[in-house]
Structure 1
Amino acid sequence: MNKAYVLLVIISCAGVLLLAGTTPTGAWFSETEVIEGITITTGSWSDAGSLIVTADQALLKPPAGNHAKTVLSGITASNTGSEPLEVTGIRVSWDPDGGETIRQAAFTRGKGGEAPRAGPHGAGSDPGSAGGEGFTAFWSGEAASGQVLDGRLLLDPSTQNDPARGVLLSFDSNMEGKTLVCTLILDDESEKEVRVRL
């Protein structure tokens, strides 16, 4: 009898929320509760289901300027959903870690999905400072492997003319021979990562 009451209360609460027009926002996390022998497991969803991160054409190049030793291009991020996604962090880690630092993270501004390129065709005369034409600087400073780079970028839904935004990472050292993991973090704290062998 108690089981029927618990289920009736749950269904009633859900009905009240629907009638009140309350729409849940943000991330839902999976959790399990046991009430008098009844196990209830909540569902989970996140915005990361609409985020696709790939590294089909990852490329290391020396920059034209003096701000970085290596620029990594070719990682792309796309939004397959119908609403914009807010990227609030990027975590970049690499192995082996020889004390290198990341100096800047940037996104292309919508070039029909083209990957960002180091050199004068990409960010103007100094791709070590990726805020030039064609790029939106997300973060700059100095960070070690595994640190979260805080910033803000709205990733609009993909279109046929602009299916993806490129990710450009600038480092203070040559990164050849390393395994790199680039993780994009959304405002609901969900994540999506891609692993690249450089």
Structure 2
Amino acid sequence: MNKAYVLLVIICCAGVFLVTDIIPAGAWFTDTEVIEGISITTGSWGDAGSLMVTADQPLLKPPAGNHAKTVLSGITVNNTGSAPLEVTGIRVSWDPDDGEMIREAAFTRGKGGEAPRAGPKGAGSNPEPAGDEGFTVFWSGEAVSGHLLEGQAQLGPATRDDPARGILLTFGSNMEGKSLVCTIILDDGNEKEVRLQV
């Protein structure tokens, strides 16, 4: 009978430690499933549980006056929780890697429940205010495949008028025929990724 009480005390203490955040919470096992271009990671107990990343209709197109397909839209991020999420990084990697460079990562915004799409302005334009249908630059520069693009963006909880944000990626050369992985990294270190073929 004493062993049962000792076991009960240990379980209660472990529960108290987890509730009061003395011992950091985390999943013991994780797994990743890829279903038709959507990658789902399970086992995370952080803020990433409220983050949805999808690529239902990726579109690779040339900017105005160009023929090389260097602008990718159609990746969507959505906050299904009730608290804002802070995005502090985006990592984009591609295969085959022939020395291409990424030049800009921006968040677009849809209106009236429509999925966000690349706005009419090209890369390098001034970012528009967050309430407009344009885009807000998250990072710009020049980086190779797999490099962490650091920036700051807040994803508010999804609403009927603002259900999701899109990610607009601009590259320095044609990306047609590449397999891409786009990973969104939150300020608590949790991340979600989506895989797509362009």
TM-score per shorter chain, which class?
Answer: 0.7 to 0.9
Listed as ranges, the matches of 1:54-65 within 5 Å are 54-64=54-64
Distance change (3 Å), C-alpha of 1:16 and 1:189: closer
Letter in 1 for 2:25: W
Q: Quote how far apart the aligned CAs of 1:3 are.
A: 6.8
**Hey, what's the Cα distance between the residues in 1 that align with 2:94 and 2:146?**
8
Match of 2:124 in 1: 129
Whether the 8 Å contact between 1:92 and 1:181 is mirrored in structure 2 is: yes
Match of 1:29 in 2: 26
**Hey, what's the Cα distance between the residues in 1 that align with 2:46 and 2:13?**
25
Q: What do the CA deviations read for 1:23-64 (whole angstroms, capped 9, x no partner)?
A: x49x732459xxxxxxxxxx9611111111111111111113
Q: CA RMSD in A?
A: 2.8
**Hey, what's the Cα distance between the residues in 2 that align with 1:16 and 1:73?**
44
2:159 counterpart of 1:159: yes
Listed as ranges, the matches of 1:74-93 within 5 Å are 74-93=74-93
Aligned residue for 1:90, secondary structure, equals strand
Q: Quote how far apart the aligned CAs of 1:128 are.
A: 1.4
**Hey, what's the Cα distance between the residues in 2 that align with 1:148 and 1:93?**
10
Whether the 8 Å contact between 1:104 and 1:141 is mirrored in structure 2 is: yes
**Hey, what's the Cα distance between the residues in 2 that align with 1:156 and 1:3?**
47
Aligned residue for 2:161, secondary structure, equals coil
Whether the 8 Å contact between 1:123 and 1:130 is mirrored in structure 2 is: no
**Hey, what's the Cα distance between the residues in 1 that align with 2:7 and 2:97?**
53
Larger Rg: 1
Distance change (3 Å), C-alpha of 1:186 and 1:81: same
Q: TM-score, normalised by structure 1?
A: 0.77
**Hey, what's the Cα distance between the residues in 2 that align with 1:128 and 1:65?**
12
Match of 1:8 in 2: 9
Whether the 8 Å contact between 1:130 and 1:137 is mirrored in structure 2 is: no
Distance change (3 Å), C-alpha of 1:17 and 1:94: closer
Letter in 1 for 2:116: A
Aligned residue for 1:193, secondary structure, equals strand
Q: TM-score, normalised by structure 2?
A: 0.77
Match of 1:191 in 2: 191
Match of 2:145 in 1: 145
2:115 counterpart of 1:114: yes
Letter in 2 for 1:128: A
Aligned residue for 1:139, secondary structure, equals strand
Name the count of aligned residue pairs.
176
**Hey, what's the Cα distance between the residues in 2 that align with 1:61 and 1:75?**
14
**Hey, what's the Cα distance between the residues in 2 that align with 1:164 and 1:114?**
7
